[in-house]
Amino acid sequence: MMNNEQKKALREQYEQRKPDMGIVCWKSGDRMWIAKSKDAKADYNSTSFQLKLGSWPNREMQRAYNADPDSFEWSLLKKLDYKERDEDHSEDLELLYMMVMEEYPAAEKMKPGK
């Protein structure tokens, strides 16, 4: 069992981590869905869970997943290089997202309206 010092050290380590930020992609065959992400690993886990439950907000993506879940592949398509964890990276992510949408014009948005 962990003592309080160990728990405190783990909590501090977690709070100091720099999660992967960037543009994430789910791909199935020739279709791809992309989104901005401030924490790629957490977003992967959340999206994967919702797809398996059948509750993903993008109905087209959910239908494609239901039809062939084994065909879905996930990737961090473009990683944002950043120094400070606590800074607001929204503008940088938006620019990266726009560049990716130009690079992959057939890509679809993962979440409606985002």
Asked whether residue 65 is assigned to any structural domain, the reply reads yes
Owning domain of residue 26: 19-81+88-108
The overall pTM is greater than 0.85: no
CA-wise closest residue to 34 among 89, 91, 88, 99 = 99
- Taking only the tens place, the pLDDT of each residue in 1-60 is 789 998 888 888 877 778 999 999 999 999 999 999 999 999 999 999 999 999 999 999
Q: What distance lies between CA 33 and its chain's CA centroid?
A: 11
Report the CATH number that the domain containing residue 66 is assigned in CATH. 3.40.1440.10
Asked whether residue 11 is assigned to any structural domain, the reply reads no
> How far is Cα 21 from Cα 24, in angstroms, rounded to an integer?
9
Looking at the structure of the chain, the number of domains it has is: 1
Q: CB 103: neighbour CB atoms within 10 A? A: 11
